[in-house]
Chains A and B, each alone.
Chain A
Amino acid sequence: MRTPSRSMPLRQRPLLRIVLASLWFGLLSLPLMMELQAPYFGLGRPLMVSVVVGLVGLLWWLASQWSERLRHVVARVVDTGGSHVRQLAEGPGRRLLYALALACAVLIPLGLNRYYIDVLTQVGMYVTLALGLNIVVGLAGLLDLGYIAFYAVGAYTYGLLSTRIGLSFWEVLPLGALLAAIFGVLLGIPVLRLRGDYLAIVTLGFGEMIRITLNNWDSLTRGPNGIIGIARPKIWGFTFSNPIHYYYLIVAIVLLTIFVVDRLNRSRIGRAWTAMRDDEVAAEVMGIDLMKTKLLAFGLGATWAGLAGVFFAGKMTFISPESFTFFESVIILCMVVLGGMGSVPGVILGAALLVILPEMMRQFALYRMLIFGGAMVMMMVLRPQGLIASPRRAIALRREDQARSAVVKPASERLGLPSRGERKRGTP
């Protein structure tokens, strides 16, 4: 439904467009990238931007010349890959597959050094976090940008209870999860009436409020200095000290998370979430209590962040507000989005990729967030359903695609109203 614009004739001259685009980006990057003191005013860097943009554009164009449907081909390859993964995970051989995956998870680390085990432990932690956020964002369709706050709640629960009262890790683990869930519900009550984008910014605000409070409430949290000397987990006189112990602990937590999230997804509640995400009005008409369903999503999502938080505090034995910034929330959101919102294997893949890739590209550490940002935009533009699309979501998106290309468009689109599923009833 793109209206013909003035650039129409340009569109027929792709090479000119590429040149113009590369010049434009060179020009845009010029002011901030040049250095007046350097030889030639440091014009090399913006020139480089120009050249890179030009080359990428050229490659893109050549590829599309070579096969106009290349984009679709790529999409299909990824799609079939994704659906294979899904079929494997759901087909008859799934028990075997699960056993195999579990055996790998248990046995492989035995041959690895501390560093790799540490990275794998991180993967596990983020898988737990991302699966929890997936409940809120992927299944229920509520964009939560302050998710890290619940992680902080879990971590500080253990940090404080361990150093002040001397409660053990195992006692705090359920407590932390419960407290995070309570926080989720408490924060949810006032804000869940809001529509998607408002909810996003308010949750962001809540996340920041919790961080600022942790940072300033010196008498309780020792402010920016953080809490040190948190007890390591112990079990029957055996203290967790080696990274591999933590690794097995997180594997257990991840297994529990996967099991529960998968069950939830297939349960009545899971279907209610999906229904609500797709169309709140229709869902309510079908007898779904929106408030209750949303609060459940918030509470159950926060639970996993709380668990991961307790684990984090137990593993690091030191926590400070620095670990709970907005960017952590964004990274976890990226994992969910990259992997495929609502899809459990997708989210696991997303979390693994976003932990392991930056570790592999240590020399580009500076560029990490830059690439993240760019990738988020590209992902949304080129493949909004993520690497492994969730089956239900894939159907919904495909239908939307068809609707868009159909001659007769649904009324909501023709009239430029918000799309299906985002239509909003009046404020209750």
Chain B
Amino acid sequence: MLLQQLVNGLTLGSVYALIALGYTMVYGIIELINFAHGEIYMLGAYMGIVAFSVLTTFHLTAPSSGATLFLMLLAAMLFCGACGVTVERLAYRPLRNAPRLSPLISALGVSIFLQNFVMLAQGPRDKGFPHLFIRGGIDFPGGRISSIQIFIMVTSVLMMVGLQLLVRRTKIGKAMRATAQDKQMATLVGIDVDRIISVTFLIGSALAAVAGVMVGMYYGLINFFIGYIAGIKAFTAAVLGGIGSIPGAMLGGLLLGLIEALGAGYISSEYKDVFAFAILVLVLVFRPSGLLGADISKRV
């Protein structure tokens, strides 16, 4: 029972971590809580289904091959990346110097818009995710870890390692860090800040897309509303780990997943969502810098 809950919690947690990365990166760079980020994740899940049906309808790849899965993930990443960049361009960039309430309300508007767009375009009902890929699992005393859970955890870890390398080792990563530290100075040393912000949105959205496709595979059902609650939880994860900190988002995601799974398993599954909110409030009140976050005074 305990082991099983741990496995479930880690699976869920790695998904939260992937989404949380998007929040934390955007916050780190322009200090905006991107309310629409959860919706991007939802778009990713839908794009996964669309890519699957295109691939299979035209017999481009065998339905349960690795190539299908790879192309689904790729399509979702590209699509969500494009959406993220567009949203930033239209709804956030014009407001960069506006009072702080404005971009927040604008982000809320984007979130409502995207949700309803998907509801209208794809219908309000739950959509089944193709169940074709990874089957089976490994039994261990006290529980079972399915292949899909392994896949989710491994993919998430790979993504996070990739992101960490990108941010720490590449030129663009350096530019991102510089922009996060000081936009004005970054401009002065020749960094195109607008472009770096776009890239940040692109990467964050692509990670959320991966999370969306994987959650679709895991639960088998998606609807236009999944982004809302997942977004809040991922935000909680980002805050828990220390918003603005990339390793913090990963840690926060995993912790939140564990807490939720254990809470649902041992206390009450009906109040599962309340745990996340309670953690959010507690962290913000008692340790607003989160677990790994630095300088409290600046962030909260």
Contacts and interface: CB of A to CB of B under 8 A. Distances in A.
A377 interface: yes
B121 A380 contact: no
A145 B114 CA distance: 19
Nearest to A193: B285
B277 A330 contact: no
A366 B124 CA distance: 11
Interface in A52-104: none
Interface string A341-382: 100000000000000000000000011011011111101110
A248 to B, nearest CB: 34
A418 B31 contact: yes
Interface of A: prevailing SS: helix
B112 A376 contact: yes
Contacts of B79: 28, 31
A213 B121 CA distance: 33
Interface in B174-218: 182-184, 187, 192-195
B65 interface: no
Contacts of B113: 370, 373-374, 377
B56 to A, nearest CB: 10
Place the interface of chain A in its size category: 35 or more
Given A24-B86, A372-B109, A416-B182, A380 B117 contact: no
Interface in B66-98: 75, 79, 82-83, 86, 90-91, 94-95, 97-98
A71 B106 CA distance: 20
Contact of B97 (A375, A376, A404): A404
Contact of B86 (A1, A28, A337, A414): A28
Contact of A380 (B47, B50, B102, B192): B102
A427 B46 CA distance: 41
B235 interface: yes
B288 A384 contact: no
Interface in A319-336: 326-327, 330, 333
Contacts of A212: 270-271, 273-274
B117 A32 contact: yes
Contacts of B288: 194, 198, 427
Contacts of B142: none
Contact of A366 (B51, B120, B273): B120
A209 B101 contact: no
Contacts of A374: 109, 113
B134 interface: no
A213 B274 contact: yes
A202 interface: yes
B270 A375 contact: no
Nearest to B276: A205
Nearest to A416: B183
A337 B194 CA distance: 28
Given A374-B113, A376-B109, A32 B46 contact: yes
Interface residues of B, number: 71
B267 interface: no
Interface in A1-55: 1, 3, 5-6, 24, 27-29, 31-34, 36, 45
B300 A143 contact: no
Contact of B109 (A205, A367, A373): A373
A220 interface: no
Contacts of A36: 53-54, 57
A254 interface: no
A123 B110 CA distance: 26
A424 B194 CA distance: 25
Interface string A179-221: 0000000000011011111101110111011001100100000
A372 B111 CA distance: 11
Contacts of A137: 101
Contacts of A426: 296-297
B195 A205 contact: no
Given A29-B121, A32-B46, A32-B117, A143 B112 contact: no
Contacts of B99: 384, 400, 419, 421-422
Interface in A393-428: 400, 404, 413-416, 418-419, 421-422, 424, 426-427
Interface in B105-145: 105-106, 108-118, 120-122
B161 to A, nearest CB: 29
A380 B83 contact: no
A309 interface: no
Contact of B98 (A27, A145, A419): A419
The 4 closest A-B pairs by CB, nearest first: A376-B109, A373-B113, A373-B112, A426-B297
Interface of A: 1, 3, 5-6, 24, 27-29, 31-34, 36, 45, 137, 141, 143, 145, 190-191, 193-198, 200-202, 204-206, 208-209, 212-213, 216, 326-327, 330, 333, 337, 341, 366-367, 369-370, 372-377, 379-381, 384, 400, 404, 413-416, 418-419, 421-422, 424, 426-427
Interface of B: 31-33, 43, 46-47, 50-51, 53-54, 57, 75, 79, 82-83, 86, 90-91, 94-95, 97-106, 108-118, 120-122, 182-184, 187, 192-195, 228, 232, 235, 239, 270-271, 273-274, 276-278, 280-281, 284-285, 288, 296-297, 300
26 contacts: A3-B187, A31-B47, A32-B43, A34-B50, A36-B53, A193-B285, A200-B104, A202-B284, A205-B276, A212-B274, A333-B105, A333-B108, A369-B115, A370-B112, A370-B113, A373-B112, A374-B109, A374-B113, A377-B91, A379-B109, A380-B102, A380-B105, A381-B94, A416-B183, A424-B300, A427-B300
Given A3-B194, A145-B108, 16 more contacts: A28-B82, A28-B86, A31-B75, A32-B46, A34-B50, A212-B270, A330-B112, A370-B120, A373-B109, A375-B109, A376-B106, A380-B95, A381-B91, A381-B95, A415-B184, A416-B183
